[in-house]
Amino acid sequence: MFRAIVLLCCVVVIPVYGYSAGVELLKISDPLDGDPFWFLAGALLAWTAYLLRPVSLLRLVLLHELSHSLVGWLLGARVVEIDASGQSGGKTIYDYPFTRGRELIALAPYYLQIVPLLLVALKTIVRTSFHPALSFAVGFAWLGFFFDLWITLKAEQTDILKTGAVFSSIVIFAANIVVSGVVLTSVSSATSPLAFLWTGVPKEIWGELFARLSTVF
């Protein structure tokens, strides 16, 4: 039942937030001015760095294990140990008392854009004079996440094999649409990440979905 609900939400998420992200991005009148320009400049640097420099395996493994730990902690798990190595890989040991939600912990590294989200949060609380630099950093970290994801997925990932390839693919795709929407709208003056998550079409769809689910449970 848990997997069915997750898949239902994902099926709704993909078109709804994909459409909403497109609408919000079209509101950016000049992508080569202000925060959007610096975001694109950061993304371009990430592309260049990916082509010219070898990827740090230690960084990949560390972020991978931190993602497991953070989502596990948010869902109520007690993190016992985090181990990361550029040579032997890494592991996260945690005590999770529930039967539902393990899939979300297992797939966390493939959708939780830790660095971009931290930068977006920082951008919302600092003075606007720092926004160009932060928009540049957000662009670099956001595109860098997808390069890292591509490298990670090229290797055989036991997390995905255990969770199921089809289920994992749908969850990863849907979650990245939502997270990327949050990141991208952070550089738009026409909207905000919170408005992207809960206004317009998303509000109507989620409200209807919650109403239907409440009659089932």
Helix (H) or strand (E) holding 85, with range, is strand 78-85
Q: How far apart are CA 27 and CA 20, in angstroms?
A: 11
Q: How far apart are CA 104 and CA 168, in angstroms?
A: 9
Instruction: Please give the backbone phi and psi of residue 44, each rounded to the nearest 5 degrees, phi first.
Output: -65, -40
Q: How far apart are CA 85 and CA 88, in angstroms?
A: 6
Residue spans of the domains in the chain: they are 2-216
Q: How far apart are CA 195 and CA 208, in angstroms?
A: 18
Burial label, 161 (beta-carbon count in 10 A; 0-12, 13-18, 19+): exposed
DSSP 74: H
3-state secondary structure (DSSP) of residue 78: strand
* Sequence-ordered list of residues with C-beta below 8 angstroms from that of 106, at least 6 positions apart, any chain: 68, 159, 162, 163
Q: How far apart are CA 89 and CA 55, in angstroms?
A: 14
Count helices and strands (H / E) in the chain. 10, 2
3-state secondary structure (DSSP) of residue 127: coil
The answer to whether the predicted template modeling score (pTM) of the entire model surpasses 0.85 is no
pLDDT, one tens digit for every residue, the chain (217 residues): 667 777 777 776 777 777 677 666 666 655 566 788 889 999 999 999 988 888 778 888 888 889 989 988 888 888 877 777 666 677 787 888 887 888 888 899 999 999 999 999 998 888 777 788 999 999 999 999 999 998 888 877 788 888 888 888 888 888 888 888 888 888 876 667 777 776 655 665 666 555 555 565 5
Contact between residue 94 and residue 72 where contact means Cβ atoms under 8 Å apart: yes
